[in-house]
Amino acid sequence: MMKNRVEKIFSGIIKTQRIASAYLLLGGLAQEKLDSALFFAKSLNCESQISKPCNSCLSCRKLSNSTHPDLIIIEKDGASIKIEQIRKLKEFMHYGPSEGTYKIVVVNNADAITSDAANSFLKMLEEPPSYSTYLLVSQKEEGLLPTIISRCQKIIFPEQSEYFISEQSKTVFEKLTGNNYVETSNAVRSIEDPVQLLEELFALCAQSQRYKLAKKVLYALKNIKMGSNKKLIIDWMCINKWNLN
Output the 3-class SS for 53-92. Answer: CCCCCHHHHHHHCCCCCCEEEECCECCEECHHHHHHHHHH
CB 105 within 8 A of CB 94: no
What is the distance between the alpha carbons of residues 128 and 130, in angstroms, rounded to a whole number?
6
Q: Kindly state the smallest distance separating residue 108's Cβ from Zn ion, in Å.
A: 23
Specify the residue, 58 or 239, whose C-beta has the smaller distance to Zn ion.
Answer: 58
For the chain, how far is it from start to end, CA to CA, in angstroms?
A: 30
Q: Kindly state the smallest distance separating residue 10's Cβ from Zn ion, in Å.
A: 14
Site residues for Zn ion per CB under 5 A: 46, 48, 53-54, 57, 60
Specify the residue, 69 or 178, whose C-beta has the smaller distance to Zn ion.
Answer: 69
Specify the residue, 54 or 83, whose C-beta has the smaller distance to Zn ion.
Answer: 54
Q: Kindly state the smallest distance separating residue 11's Cβ from Zn ion, in Å.
A: 13
Collapse the DSSP code of 8 into the 3-class scheme (helix H, G, I; strand E, B; otherwise coil) and give the result. Answer: helix
Specify the residue, 39 or 202, whose C-beta has the smaller distance to Zn ion.
Answer: 39
Q: Kindly state the smallest distance separating residue 224's Cβ from Zn ion, in Å.
A: 17
What is the distance between the alpha carbons of residues 148 and 235, in angstroms, rounded to a whole number?
46
